[in-house]
Each structure stands twice: as structure tokens, then as C-alpha cells.
């Protein structure tokens, strides 16, 4: 069965430091992969997605993610975080031939001034 | 951790009928619930945001009269697809945020097929 694991429930980094949020998935074929961000009281916002092609995907707000098939991972990175990046981040996997989507449990990012 | 239960997980209905999807927060009070629709090979689309006791706020392009959202209690929100058509067939998913720290929790989703 498909699954998505975000092993870190909370992560705290200092403003200006680099960030990596981990995401591992379990899926039989090549999945469609997404990273979303949710700020308090707001709906999800798509940061980036991977469907095929270049395994390093650039997104909005300076985020990027790399699809590593051998590790079944799709980690999200940002070289220098800003206080406004404090939010909850969700990794999701979709079925390429379908519309079902499964979310990880999310990682809450805290930023220290 | 907190659990959001979405029911049914799958439903098949005939064109012209209405279908109700429930989203329940099992162990916390959900002040805000979000309803999303997932299209194949696309990102999630936010349909509406509902706060307990008030009318839902619909995103642009979402028909209010077709997708009725009710959030009558702090643990239950419902999405009713009225007069369903085959183009309404999709995967619908809800999420809920509580009062404590506004952390979001997702339901398992509902696969709607209109025939």
C-alpha cells in the first residue's frame, strides 16, 4: 500500500540557517510527489511537485526538493530560512494514473530569531 | 496523535443524485476544516474553508450551490455534492485544525464516482 512518512514532527532552525525536511514514500511505481505548506488558519499552498524528468525540482519561496528513487525519498530543502517560513509542511504522494493522494503527517517548522 | 475520520472512503452514485461526505475530528475540536479536491496528475485544489457555526468561504470558481458545506459542530463538517454529474467524479479530502496549535490533520479521502 502507498504510504508517506515524514519522520520529523517538529524541526527548529535558526533564521538564516539551511533547512532539510525529510520525506520517504512507499509506492510500487514512479509516484507523483508534492510538498505543500500550511500556515496557521490557512489552506495548503503548493510549494513544488515532481511528476517526471529532472529529479531536482525548484519551487516557490526558494524551496527545492530532490527525488531519489533509490532511497524512496523526496526531501525538501532551502539554503537559508526566513522567519516567515515557520509553518507546517506536508509531503504527499499521488498515483500517476489516478487522483488519489496520500499525505504525510506533517513537519512543524519553528524558526529561531 | 489526533485523528480525522472521513466517510465514506468510496461512493458510487447515479447522475442527478446527491452525495454527502463526512469529516469528523475524533479526539479534538476542529475550529476550521478545509475541503480539497484532487484531480489526476494535478495538485490539490482548495474548495472551501469552513469555521464552526459560520458559513463556509468558497474559493473562486467553486459553485456554492453545488458543493454544500456544513460545519455545525466542532467535530463534524459535511460536504454535499448536489445533483452530481460525471465530471464531479474525483478524490475529495478534508483537513481539520484544532484550537491548540492550529496543526492540521487530514482525512483519508473519499473517492466519488458518478455514473
Residues of B whose CB is below 8 A from A38? 104
Task: Tell me what pLDDT residue B99 has.
Answer: 64
Task: Tell me what pLDDT residue A54 has.
Answer: 92
Backbone angles phi, psi at B86, to 5 degrees: -55, -30
* DSSP tag of A61: G
Interface of B with A in 62-91 (CB under 8 A): 90-91
A94 touches chain B (CB under 8 A): yes
pLDDT in tens, B21-60: 999 999 888 888 999 998 777 778 889 999 888 889 999 9
Instruction: Lowest mean pLDDT of A94-103, B42-51, B59-68, name the range.
Output: A94-103
Residues of A whose CB is below 8 A from B6? none
Alpha-carbon gap, residue B67 to A19, rounded angstroms: 39
CA distance B91 to chain A (A): 6
Alpha-carbon gap, residue A22 to A77, rounded angstroms: 9
pLDDT band for position B101 (cuts 50, 70, 90): low
pLDDT band for position A74 (cuts 50, 70, 90): very high
Residues of B whose CB is below 8 A from A31? none
Backbone angles phi, psi at A69, to 5 degrees: -65, -40
Alpha-carbon gap, residue A46 to A89, rounded angstroms: 10
Distances (CA, A) of A48 to A58, A59, B15, B69, B110: 7, 5, 35, 29, 24
**% of chain B surpassing 70 pLDDT:** 96
Alpha-carbon gap, residue A80 to A70, rounded angstroms: 27
Q: What cell was used for B69? A: 458545506
Amino acid at each position: 500500500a502507498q504510504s508517506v512518512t515524514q519522520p520529523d514532527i517538529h524541526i527548529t532552525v535558526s533564521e538564516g540557517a539551511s533547512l532539510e525536511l525529510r520525506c520517504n514514500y512507499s509506492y510500487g511505481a514512479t509516484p507523483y510527489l508534492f510538498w505543500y505548506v500550511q500556515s496557521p488558519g490557512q489552506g495548503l499552498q503548493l510549494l513544488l511537485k515532481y511528476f517526471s524528468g529532472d529529479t531536482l525540482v525548484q519551487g516557490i519561496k526558494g524551496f527545492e526538493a530532490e527525488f531519489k528513487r533509490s532511497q524512496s525519498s523526496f526531501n525538501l530543502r532551502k539554503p537559508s530560512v526566513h522567519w516567515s517560513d515557520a509553518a507546517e509542511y506536508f509531503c504527499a504522494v499521488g498515483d500517476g494514473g489516478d487522483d488519489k493522494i496520500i499525505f504525510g503527517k506533517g513537519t512543524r517548522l519553528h524558526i529561531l530569531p | 496523535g489526533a485523528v480525522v475520520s472521513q466517510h465514506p472512503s468510496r461512493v458510487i452514485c447515479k447522475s442527478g443524485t446527491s452525495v454527502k461526505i463526512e469529516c469528523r475530528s475524533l479526539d479534538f475540536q476542529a475550529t476550521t476544516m478545509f475541503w480539497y479536491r484532487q484531480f489526476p496528475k494535478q495538485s490539490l485544489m482548495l474548495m472551501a474553508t469552513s469555521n464552526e457555526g459560520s458559513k463556509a468561504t468558497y474559493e473562486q470558481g467553486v459553485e456554492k450551490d453545488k458543493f454544500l458545506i456544513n460545519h455545525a459542530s466542532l467535530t463534524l463538517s459535511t460536504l454535499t455534492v448536489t445533483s452530481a454529474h460525471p465530471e464531479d467524479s474525483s478524490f475529495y479530502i478534508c483537513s481539520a485544525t484544532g484550537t491548540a496549535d492550529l496543526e492540521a490533520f487530514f482525512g483519508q479521502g473519499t473517492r466519488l464516482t458518478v455514473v
